[in-house]
Amino acid sequence: MDADDVTRAVGLAIETLSEAEDRDWSVRAGDLTWTCWETTEHMADDLFMYASQLSLAAPSVTAHVPYGYQSRREGGPYLTVFVDPAQRPAGLLQVLESCGGLLAAVVATAPPERRSFHNYGPSDPSGFAAMGVVEVIVHMHDLAAGLGLTWEPPEDLCARALTRLFPEAPADEDPWATLLWSTGRADRPGHPRPEKWKWDGSPR
């Protein structure tokens, strides 16, 4: 996957979330314990951190770039990127777009052989682009449930994300439904949703 995929996923997310700027973002995001506001901050934070990991000339493959992070309440996400609540959802979406732009720019300019740390194993620019796409389109599923929105990302985007990060997922089923199953958010015929899951971002 590449920078255009990141830009596309983030753009579609912002377009959809803009419909809910006047709604209550303090409600839970789907089955998560986080609010819709916190989940959007988490999306932005992931995009920012992936860009940070890739932006070094000689990244570590064993440790994160040592930004500070914290959780602002018990049970909330641990983040580096926070948005001033006074800026309301419009400001939150600006931060999401900004962090998406950072990841897209770094993916577009990083040499393809670059490797950097991730908890699930070192990855390359294509892998971090795919991770950013999955973070956005899957958490949009959570946000859509909390904010009462309709969300179904493009089939080709889901299919490429599956191919890049979930190579063992079935390739002959609906890509969006399969991605939701792969990330523990839906059942599949004959296969209950996994209680634990992780992707494989290793370089291909």
pLDDT digits over 40-84, tens only? 999 999 999 999 999 999 999 999 999 999 999 999 999 999 999
Does some domain include residue 74? Answer: yes
pLDDT at residue 4, as a whole number: 98
For each successive 10 residues of the chain (204 residues), what is the average pLDDT? Answer: 98 98 98 97 98 97 97 97 97 98 98 97 98 98 98 97 96 95 93 92 94
pLDDT at residue 190, as a whole number: 86
Number of domains in the chain: 1
pLDDT at residue 14, as a whole number: 98
CB within 8 A of 163, min separation 6: which ones? Answer: 171
Whether the pTM exceeds 0.85: the reply is yes
Does some domain include residue 196? Answer: no
Does some domain include residue 187? Answer: no
Does some domain include residue 203? Answer: no
Does some domain include residue 169? Answer: yes
pLDDT at residue 44, as a whole number: 98
Tokens describing residue 185 = 């958010």
Does some domain include residue 153? Answer: yes
Residue 70 maps to which CATH number? 1.20.120
Domain that holds residue 51: 3-182
Does some domain include residue 98? Answer: yes
Does some domain include residue 171? Answer: yes
